[in-house]
Structure 1
Amino acid sequence: MKLTDFDTLTFDCYGTLIDWETGIFDGLRALLHRVKPALTRDQVLEAHARHESSQQRYTPGKRYQALLAIVYKRLAEEWGVSYTHDECIAYGRSIRDWPAFADSADALRYLKQHYKLVILSNVDNESFTYSNAKLRVEFDAIMTAEDIGSYKPSPRNFEYMLEKLGERGIRKEAILHTAESLFHDHKPANEFGLASCWIYRRHSQTGFGATMDPGSQPKIDFRFDSMADFAKAHQEALSGK
């Protein structure tokens, strides 16, 4: 199997292209100042992952920024600190400030020359527009949790994506699903027989950060530590190195 065997890349966005762990932690700073004793970054991210995943199961049709407002409330309650409704709403809107990884935009511009680029993301459409502006590329399709009415790793999200791409003549065998999260993306990609590329942004860290433990290691066809490494590997594949 080679990177040049595919003509379509389907991307997770948050954690893969957008540095959501930095965005999450920065967005929670005002709340964290009230927490004693102080929590580590990974403790914060792991608690966030737990409440976010639970809320996505219970309210799959809720827009992501509204869902994050509930996560903020649950975190404040767990940590025993005060909060206001306005703070919850502001945290949900903080997605627009989440930064792109430094290599995402350049890598996407390069890959756009060789692949169709598709987003399959646990986000709402309004919030994604702010992220898309940071990524500076025109995606061939953008499919969000708001469009579908559920959140990954629900199989509905992958069924929807494959149906819509199939209507455009894009075969499953031509798709390489590219993501950081083993839980949200690689395990369900395995279940649907999709080839997968792991952008292992947390390669220098332990644990799963803002994503849930997948429970078992899914099959991975390609692994790179960054989008820049992915783009470089594609260049080398083209040149026959």
Structure 2
Amino acid sequence: MKLTEYQALLIDCDGVLVDRDSGVWAALQPLLENHAGPLDKAALLADFNEVLQSLYPRFGELGFSGLLCFAHRQLAERWKLKASWEEGMSFARSAAGWTLFEDAPGAMLYLRKFYRLLVLGDRDAEDRGVLCERLGIEPEDFISLASAPLQDRDWLDANGLDAAAILHVTRPGTGSRAVGAVCLICRDLDTSPAPCAADYCINSMADLVAQHQLSLRR
């Protein structure tokens, strides 16, 4: 299917639109002040991702802030550091301040002229409205990671969508998707898969806009 033929884009929030890694790195610096030696950013983020994924089965119980708070506690234990629950909650609340990649707002403004934009991510209720406003989407188009919209026939029918006509815009390392086409946004060229195993592999949301414009001319 041509890029211009999709009905909707299902876009990962963190790592594609929101610079989560920089936010996590900055918010963990107070904890790392007592670390015995320097911790490589890539290693830190790998530890964080591993811990966060292990906690996701408890998402319904903890909510997003709870997951981040417990992740902070488990990272402190893993690194043999002391951390209070107050510090964990401060880390969790940092998610509200994670910045957008600079190309994200303009790309979303352009792409919503051609597609329904769905954003896949998680935030607590008090943060979701502000983030949706920044991204230019309706709150109902912000979909939890705990759901599987491309495999939910009732949701697809209610929204007049076909899974085959939804392009999932994601980042490397999130795992393969069983349904639908995939566009990888490879902002970090060092982690870009070679060869590309997705339907599209591009470097940024700005490049996605450029590729769409090229498709319109063909």
Once structures 1 and 2 are overlaid, which stretch shifts more, 98-107 or 169-178? 169-178
Cα separation, 2, equivalents of 1:2 and 1:34: 52
SS in 2 for 1:11: strand
Seq. identity, % = 27
Output one character per residue of 1:153-199: Cα deviation in whole Å (capped at 9) or x when no partner: xxx52456553232121111221111114425xx1x2x12x011111
Match of 1:214 in 2: none
Cα separation, 1, equivalents of 2:79 and 2:89: 19
Shift of 1:206: 4.3
Taking structure 1 as reference, are residues 28 and 13 closer, same or farther at Cα in structure 2, changes over 3 Å only?
same
Match of 1:168 in 2: 159
Match of 2:39 in 1: 39
Match of 1:180 in 2: 171
Indicate whether 1:197 and 2:183 are aligned.
Answer: yes
Output one character per residue of 1:93-151: Cα deviation in whole Å (capped at 9) or x when no partner: 1101101001000001000110000112144333333433433x124612124xxxx3x
Cα separation, 2, equivalents of 1:125 and 1:43: 31
Alignment check: 8 A CA contact 1:120 1:161 kept? no
Match of 2:116 in 1: 116
Q: Detail structure 1 runs of 4+ shifted over 6 Å in the superposition.
A: none
Aligned residue pair count: 215
| Structure 1 vs Structure 2 CA RMSD | 2.2
Match of 1:60 in 2: 59
Q: How do 1:1-241 residues align onto structure 2 when only pairs under 5 Å count?
A: 1-57=1-57, 59-61=58-60, 62-135=62-135, 137-139=136-138, 141-145=141-145, 150=146, 156-158=147-149, 163-183=154-174, 187=176, 189=177, 191-192=178-179, 194-203=180-189, 205-206=190-191, 219-240=197-218
Taking structure 1 as reference, are residues 125 and 112 closer, same or farther at Cα in structure 2, changes over 3 Å only?
same
* Matched AA of 2:53: S
Alignment check: 8 A CA contact 1:15 1:181 kept? no
* Matched AA of 1:198: L
Unaligned segments of structure 2, at least 5 residues: none
Taking structure 1 as reference, are residues 5 and 103 closer, same or farther at Cα in structure 2, changes over 3 Å only?
same
Alignment check: 8 A CA contact 1:98 1:131 kept? no
Cα separation, 2, equivalents of 1:128 and 1:78: 30
TM-score by length of 1: 0.82
* Matched AA of 1:234: H
